[in-house]
Structure 1
Amino acid sequence: MKDFTKELNFKTSRSSGAGGQNVNKVETSVTVTWKVSDSEFLNERQKDLILEKLKNRINLEGFLFLSVSESRTQLQNKKIAIEKILDLVNKALIIPKFRAKTKPTRSSVEKRIQQKKQNSDKKENRRFKF
């Protein structure tokens, strides 16, 4: 798990939603930005992987954006934002295992066909005959 929190930039703004009078005067919403290509914690391959997998969240300048306004406090929103961005990046760095395609065995195909015939016969016997 890579921890690149030192490279994150935070910006606050007024949040919408619950908060009463507080919502109009306190900047509780937190927006996190991180320039993927300038990261010192990741190698080029990892950066390319992140740029590919998170391309819908990265703008043209190469910044990854994430806004959080779930909590009523700025500090809590900042913690949530850090957790979310770390989770996003770590999930993007996971390379799925290669799955080799396989065919069903001859015996399993025969077994399936035999089962279908048995089912068919069973239902045929249930039919009302004149």
Structure 2
Amino acid sequence: DRVRSRLARRLTEEGDLVVYAQDERSQVLNRAAALARLEALIVKAAHRPKERRPTSPTRASRERRLAGKKARSEVKRGRGQPEGEP
């Protein structure tokens, strides 16, 4: 399933998910921290991102794009040899 595939790198050969914590001196606090990490990992792995709905460019953005293309075209057209010179 989705969670298993997302956490595949963290799984052992037996299929166990290993999470450990060594932040505190107390085993109880470390165990609680490890459980919190495990919960966060599972929640993050199970989250399904929203599908992107394709949109079309707005009229203003199309006009800006065309204006930029026209300006670039004018710059390039001005690079040629001056008229009347060989």
TM-score for both structures, normalised by structure 2: 0.68
Aligned pairs for 1:42-121 within 5 A: 48-114=1-67, 116=68, 117=71
Following TM superposition, by how much is the alpha carbon of 1:111 offset from its aligned partner in structure 2, in angstroms?
A: 2.7
Following TM superposition, by how much is the alpha carbon of 1:112 offset from its aligned partner in structure 2, in angstroms?
A: 4.0
Name stretches of at least 5 consecutive residues in structure 2 with no aligned partner: 72-86
Q: How many residues align?
A: 71
Bigger share in strand: 1
Name stretches of at least 5 consecutive residues in structure 1 with no aligned partner: 1-47, 118-130
For the aligned residues, what is the CA RMSD? 2.1
Percent identity over the alignment is 33
Deviations 1:10-60 (A, max 9, x none): xxxxxxxxxxxxxxxxxxxxxxxxxxxxxxxxxxxxxx1111111111122
Query: For the pair shown, which has the larger CA radius of gyration, 1 or 2?
Result: 2
